Amino acid sequence: MPNPNPNHPVYAGEFRHAVDAKNRVTIPSRWRSDTAGEEFFAVPDPRGDYLMILPPSVFERVKENVEANTSIAAADRRKFIRRFYAQAQLVGADKQGRVLLPEEHCRRLGLEGEVVLSGSHDRIEIWNTNRWTSVMADDEEVFRRVAEEVGL
């Protein structure tokens, strides 16, 4: 399947990388563009399980989707957008592909030592290794069921 947004790769795969003493983690080379200084938005997922790393186009699309969803009350849309943007931090990749993760996000999500970077199509997820292992075990049955339903 071709990538619908040629400016960003499809993020697929699972990688284990260390978060260094400065809270930097290396983005896998196959997920990087050719442009040095690529920027992303780092936002904790709403359940607090992992850190989402969103390209700017995906970050903007979240706001557009919330504003377009008329089943959500206008006041609730504003509250969501306020909190989503307040938690977001702009992060940039250096020439080695390292991204400086916000200290508060690392502390809250337990992102230290080895972490798991998981591709999730249009975003990167950064997980605490123990939490990742637990979630993958819990999700196994659902994965198998849905795979069968879609013909895999």
Residue 148 has pLDDT above 80, yes or no: yes
What's the mean per-residue pLDDT of the chain?
Answer: 91
Query: If residue 68 lies in a helix (H) or strand (E), which one and from where to where?
Result: helix 56-68
What is the per-residue pLDDT across 61-88, written as a single tens digit (0 to 9) for each?
999 999 999 999 999 999 999 999 999 9
The predicted structure's pLDDT at residue 99: 94
Express each pLDDT in 27-53 by its tens digit: 998 888 765 678 999 999 999 999 999
> What would the pLDDT profile of 131-146 be if each residue is shown by its tens digit?
999 999 999 999 999 9
Set out the domains of the chain in order of their start, with CATH numbers. Answer: 14-149 (3.40.1550.20)
Judged against a pLDDT cut of 50, whether residue 2 lies above it is answered with no
pTM: 0.89
Q: In the prediction, which pLDDT does 126 show?
A: 98
Q: Residue 94 CB: number of other CB atoms within 10 A? A: 13
